[in-house]
């Protein structure tokens, strides 16, 4: 079934201008991808991968150096003002006024989005009910817990009935229970409305729950597919070997068994083909392994497959 494309990104590049002390930094390199209506897409990448730059462009906070982005019928680069009406954004940092009440924050945001006053009151009531926030209506935001404040952020973003919801590291700073609650709320929202959601994250379990994952590294889009299909690209099973002299072991595996391994952190990782069994490997390289781990590929393995490094170990710029 052909789905309607809601976001069309074409050859999008951005370079931050250099200063006297630092050279220009190419943060995005000709990225192209289409996102369908109703999809939830994760942008997965470490710091400096370009995902924050991409999100800044999609939220109209940053004008790209070149390329185009269409949101619905609007060209986001040429007409950011019109595109903004279709966007609901939850930023990584709280965008609420802590001194104001929950209802006041929602009212102010609704008016900024041009919702007529008569409709606004009804809309606020409805979103407070939907997000289970009625009892906090008159509470100042500064008195709310982190999880509740995030829910208010979400309510604020959804108030103008956006076609597209953008979540920038939405659960950073939340405890595991609040994180789970947040994603539960997103899931129930998606089941009731056909909402398109874009999430920037560096958390693998959050990305695994999305319909498609875009893997970014150093400004390049390395892969864009369903999590399951990305994992299939790596292989059916991933072997992780820990031990001494792994470099020699890697060379021997290449020479004798034609197995291409990657040294990542302090382990040698490789995909095991069906033709070679684990027992055979153990017999051949007896006493060379301290620890062997065989597992189904995770998104981290996908990331390692494309970049040669773990997502969590990468800190650039």
Residues that bind another protein (CB under 8 A): 59-63, 80-82, 84-85, 87, 89, 91-100, 104, 108-109, 111-114, 156
Around Cβ 247, how many Cβ atoms within 10 Å?
A: 10
Decide whether 45 or 64 has the Cβ nearer to another protein: 64
Decide whether 72 or 297 has the Cβ nearer to another protein: 72
Shortest distance (Å) from residue 138 CB to another protein: 13
Shortest distance (Å) from residue 201 CB to another protein: 18
Shortest distance (Å) from residue 156 CB to another protein: 7
Cβ atoms of residues 67 and 12 within 8 Å: yes
Decide whether 100 or 276 has the Cβ nearer to another protein: 100
Cβ atoms of residues 35 and 195 within 8 Å: no
Decide whether 85 or 310 has the Cβ nearer to another protein: 85
Q: CA angle at residue 16 from 36 to 215, to 5 degrees?
A: 35
Decide whether 62 or 276 has the Cβ nearer to another protein: 62
Shortest distance (Å) from residue 84 CB to another protein: 4
Shortest distance (Å) from residue 51 CB to another protein: 16
The span from the CA of 288 to the CA of 241, in Å, is: 9
The span from the CA of 187 to the CA of 230, in Å, is: 22
Instruction: List C-alpha distances in Å: 38 to 81, 164, 175.
Output: 23, 9, 28
Decide whether 141 or 302 has the Cβ nearer to another protein: 141
> What is the end-to-end Cα distance of the chain in Å, rounded?
42
The span from the CA of 165 to the CA of 28, in Å, is: 22
Shortest distance (Å) from residue 198 CB to another protein: 13
Shortest distance (Å) from residue 21 CB to another protein: 16
- Residue 227: in which H helix or E strand, if any? helix 227-234
The span from the CA of 157 to the CA of 177, in Å, is: 22
Decide whether 156 or 269 has the Cβ nearer to another protein: 156
- The DSSP string of 234-259 is H-S-EEEEE-S-HHHHHHHHHHHH--
Give the list of residues 6+ apart from residue 106 with CB closer than 8 angstroms, or none.
Answer: 124, 127, 128, 152, 155, 156, 159
């Amino acid at each position: 079934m052909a789905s309607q494309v809601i976001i069309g990104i074409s050859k999008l590049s951005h370079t931050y201008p250099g200063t006297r002390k630092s050279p220009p930094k190419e943060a995005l390199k000709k990225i192209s991808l289409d996102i369908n209506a109703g999809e939830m897409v994760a942008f997965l990448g470490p710091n400096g991968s370009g995902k924050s730059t991409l999100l800044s462009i999609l939220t109209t906070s940053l004008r790209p150096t070149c390329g185009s982005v269409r949101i619905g019928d609007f060209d986001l680069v040429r007409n950011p003002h019109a595109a903004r009406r279709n966007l609901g954004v939850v930023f990584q940092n709280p965008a609420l006024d802590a001194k104001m009440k929950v209802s006041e924050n929602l009212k102010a945001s609704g008016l900024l989005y041009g919702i007529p006053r008569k409709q606004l009151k009804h809309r606020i009531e409805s979103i407070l009910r939907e997000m289970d926030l009625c009892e906090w209506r008159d509470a100042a935001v500064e008195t709310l817990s982190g999880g509740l404040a995030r829910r208010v952020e979400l309510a604020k973003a959804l108030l103008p009935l956006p076609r597209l919801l953008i979540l920038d590291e939405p659960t950073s700073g939340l405890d595991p229970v609040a994180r789970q609650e947040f994603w539960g709320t997103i899931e129930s929202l998606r089941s009731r409305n056909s909402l398109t959601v874009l999430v920037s994250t560096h958390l693998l379990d959050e990305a695994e729950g999305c319909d498609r994952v875009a893997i970014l590294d150093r400004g390049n889009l390395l892969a864009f597919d369903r999590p399951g299909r990305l994992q299939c690209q790596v292989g059916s099973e991933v072997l992780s070997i820990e031990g001494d002299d792994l470099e020699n072991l890697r060379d021997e595996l290449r020479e004798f068994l034609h197995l291409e391994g990657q040294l990542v952190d302090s382990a040698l990782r490789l995909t095991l083909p069906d033709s070679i069994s684990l027992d055979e490997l153990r017999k051949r390289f007896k006493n060379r392994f301290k620890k062997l781990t065989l597992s189904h590929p995770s998104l981290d393995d996908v990331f390692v497959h494309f970049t040669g490094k773990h997502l969590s170990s990468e800190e650039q710029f």
